[in-house]
């Protein structure tokens, strides 16, 4: 009772709101249970596991009080506990089927929900943690778990936005949670539809619509409907879980390049994509009113690419990101063509090198992590470029991880400004992105975040090194986990796995994934005892702020 009187947050309300996240996860777990039933696999355990998660959610949700405004502290608590709850609940299908032990299941679920894509499975086709002979058959439950791995990515890619949309009927102040998104890797970074709720609906429309379109495109390219579903769910979430050990290498160059385009889509700012979609809708609506629907349909086919290109060009972050992808792909393609590797000799080899370079530059920079070939066999210069892309990640407001292109550009321009100021101390040089001046507050935030990010990567690397891993694998695992990338270098490269790591190391890497997904600061803030408990002041019973 004394502790409750000293709490700085309304814990019953926070836990009740977190329960809605568990409800979403539990209901989603009924999908793999249905697949297990349809394929003749034992579905009872999956069903009971899903119902158990729903039962826990049902016990927590009634704790929520009437609709009211949340404080920033409570918003952060909801975000953190929602993600922790989602990770724990998402491990249930692996545990109830006996497919994984506790540490492995938590690692796989953390990797799935945070859209990292790292795995402990050695054989993806049969979801085995040990090598199997070619003639060995997959367990009947494997298709259901393949679907669950992809669903974890898709739900995690939507991030807290999906939860907030579900919460919004119960909250009066959605804006409080929206402010929290500034410190969390989420689709919601700005409003472009007037209200927060309308913007969230627009962002989810883009997310769901792009996933659906990609599924149809893959099917049209000859990919099976089931394979297309798994990869469509993973791609737009920039996750990287596949149901094939060969990943995207199981298909040809056309499928790989088309997938690369959709990976880039997932790494762009979804608010920017939403604004572009709104512009297209507006132009088509005006044309339909003036010229008729048939002419408007023809106009849309020509106007959409033009409006999309104009919208992307107006964004300094998107423009810089796409230019960087082209430059990195060209550099790696050139290095491969001159490497002496027989696979990349001649005109045909140079083309294959260009495809492999473009695919991996996209896969790594978007932090998706799909694979085709083993890039750890490439020249060291190619791997160095990929390492830089791992650290940088995608655009703000996307499903990608990393420090984000916007922050990287701000830090680079800050460094240039300081060099010039060293020679001209009185020079006034505001930092601009896309023609807009970046406030000094945002500059400080970018510098602070990048410093903290690199410190966390270094700290996690030291922890992993205690397990006796080699330096290359250690660095690759730390960068991959915090950056939500998936594959790393050494034994955790694109053809490796994290299975050989000790259990406590896997849990540490899982924490690193959560830190990276929540952009570090909210998690570190919640580690301070005064975040939760009032200290030094007179203990009084907690009273939530009155409803507006």
Residue pointed to by tokens 């049902």 = 58
- Sequence-ordered strand ranges (E) for 238-322: none
Q: What is the pLDDT of residue 361?
A: 96
Q: What is the pLDDT of residue 540?
A: 44
**CA 46, chain centre distance (Å):** 26
Give a yes or no: residue 133 inside a domain: yes
User: Alpha helices, DSSP H only, in 114-269?
Assistant: 142-158, 160-167, 174-180, 196-220, 225-236, 253-267
CA 16/CA 393 separation, integer angstroms: 34
Give a yes or no: residue 23 inside a domain: yes
Strand pairing category for 436-437 and 432-433: antiparallel
Give a yes or no: residue 254 inside a domain: no
Ordered per-residue pLDDT tens for the chain, 548 residues = 555 566 778 888 888 888 888 998 999 999 999 999 999 888 999 999 999 999 999 999 888 766 556 777 887 888 888 899 999 999 999 999 988 999 999 999 999 999 999 999 999 999 988 888 887 777 889 999 999 999 999 999 876 545 555 454 444 445 555 544 444 444 445 554 555 666 677 777 888 888 999 999 999 999 999 999 999 999 988 999 999 999 999 999 999 999 999 999 988 888 788 788 777 777 766 666 666 565 556 655 666 677 778 878 888 888 889 999 999 999 999 999 998 888 998 888 999 999 999 999 999 999 999 999 999 999 999 999 999 999 999 888 788 889 998 899 999 999 999 999 888 888 888 888 877 888 888 899 899 999 999 999 999 999 999 988 899 999 999 999 999 999 999 999 998 899 999 999 999 999 999 999 888 888 888 888 888 887 654 444 445 444 43
CB 133 within 8 A of CB 502: no
Give a yes or no: residue 80 inside a domain: yes
Structure tokens at 50: 């899903």
Helix, coil or strand: residue 245: coil
Residues 6+ apart with CB under 8 A from 433: 316, 317, 406, 409, 410, 413
Structure tokens at 504: 């406590």
Give a yes or no: residue 36 inside a domain: yes
Which residues form the domain of 40? Answer: 2-194
Structure tokens at 435: 């023609």
Give a yes or no: residue 115 inside a domain: yes
Helix, coil or strand: residue 33: helix
Q: Which residues of 341-380 are buried (b: 16+ CB within 10 A; e: fewer)?
A: eeebeeeeebebbbbbbbbbbbbbbbbbbbbbbebbebbe
Q: What is the pLDDT of residue 546?
A: 46
**Element spanning 96, H or E:** helix 92-96
Give a yes or no: residue 526 inside a domain: no
Total count of domains within the chain: 1
Instruction: State the maximum Cα–Cα separation within the chain, in Å, rounded to a whole number.
Output: 78
Q: What is the pLDDT of residue 539?
A: 45
Q: How many other β-carbons are positioned within 10 Å of the β-carbon of residue 12?
A: 17
Give a yes or no: residue 492 inside a domain: no
CB 97 within 8 A of CB 45: yes
């Amino acid at each position: 009772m004394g502790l409750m009187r000293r709490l700085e947050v309304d814990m019953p309300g926070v836990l009740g709101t977190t329960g809605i996240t568990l409800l979403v996860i539990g209901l989603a777990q009924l999908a793999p249970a249905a697949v297990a039933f349809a394929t003749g696999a034992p579905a009872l355990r999956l069903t009971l596991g899903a119902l158990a998660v729903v039962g826990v959610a049902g016990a927590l949700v009634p704790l929520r009080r009437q609709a009211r405004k949340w404080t920033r502290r409570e918003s952060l608590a909801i975000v953190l506990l929602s993600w922790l709850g989602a990770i724990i609940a998402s491990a249930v299908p692996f545990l109830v089927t006996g497919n994984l032990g506790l540490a492995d299941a938590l690692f796989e679920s953390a990797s799935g929900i945070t859209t990292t894509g790292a795995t402990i499975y050695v054989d993806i086709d049969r979801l085995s943690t040990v090598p199997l002979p070619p003639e060995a058959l997959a367990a009947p439950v494997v298709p259901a778990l393949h679907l669950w791995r992809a669903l974890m990515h898709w739900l995690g890619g939507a991030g807290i936005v999906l939860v907030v949309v579900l919460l919004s009927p119960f909250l009066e102040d959605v804006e409080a949670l929206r402010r929290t998104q500034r410190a969390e890797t989420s689709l919601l970074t700005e409003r472009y539809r007037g209200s927060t709720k309308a913007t969230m609906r627009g962002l989810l429309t883009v997310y769901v619509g792009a996933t659906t379109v990609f599924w149809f495109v893959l099917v049209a390219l000859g990919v099976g409907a089931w394979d297309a579903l798994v990869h469509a769910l993973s791609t737009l979430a920039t996750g990287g879980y596949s149901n094939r050990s060969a990943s995207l290498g199981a298909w040809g160059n056309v499928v790989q390049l088309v997938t690369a385009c959709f990976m880039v889509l997932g790494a762009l700012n979804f608010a920017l994509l939403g604004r572009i979609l709104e512009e297209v809708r507006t132009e088509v609506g005006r044309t339909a009113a003036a010229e008729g629907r048939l002419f408007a349909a023809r106009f849309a086919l020509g106007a959409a690419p033009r409006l999309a290109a104009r919208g992307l060009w107006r964004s300094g972050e998107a423009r810089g990101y796409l230019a960087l992808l082209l430059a990195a792909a060209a550099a790696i393609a050139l290095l491969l063509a001159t490497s002496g590797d027989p696979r990349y000799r001649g005109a045909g080899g140079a083309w294959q090198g260009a495809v492999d370079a473009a695919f991996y530059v996209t896969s790594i920079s978007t932090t998706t992590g799909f694979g085709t070939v083993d890039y750890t066999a490439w020249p060291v210069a190619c791997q160095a470029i990929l390492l830089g892309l791992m650290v940088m990640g995608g655009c703000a407001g996307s499903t990608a991880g990393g420090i984000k292109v916007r922050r990287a550009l701000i830090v680079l321009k800050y460094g240039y400004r300081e060099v010039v100021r060293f020679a001209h101390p009185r020079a006034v040089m505001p930092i601009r992105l896309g023609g807009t001046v970046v406030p000094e507050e945002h500059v400080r935030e970018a510098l602070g975040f990048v410093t903290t990010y690199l410190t966390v990567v270094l700290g996690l690397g030291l922890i992993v090194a205690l397990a006796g891993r080699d330096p290359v694998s250690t660095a690759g695992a730390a960068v991959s986990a915090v950056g939500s990338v998936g594959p790393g270098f050494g034994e955790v490269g694109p053809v490796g796995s994290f299975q050989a790591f000790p259990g406590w190391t896997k849990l540490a890497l899982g924490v690193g994934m959560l830190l990276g997904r929540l952009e570090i600061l909210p998690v570190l803030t919640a580690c301070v005892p005064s975040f939760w408990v009032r200290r030094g002041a007179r203990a009084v019973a907690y009273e939530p702020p009155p409803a507006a």
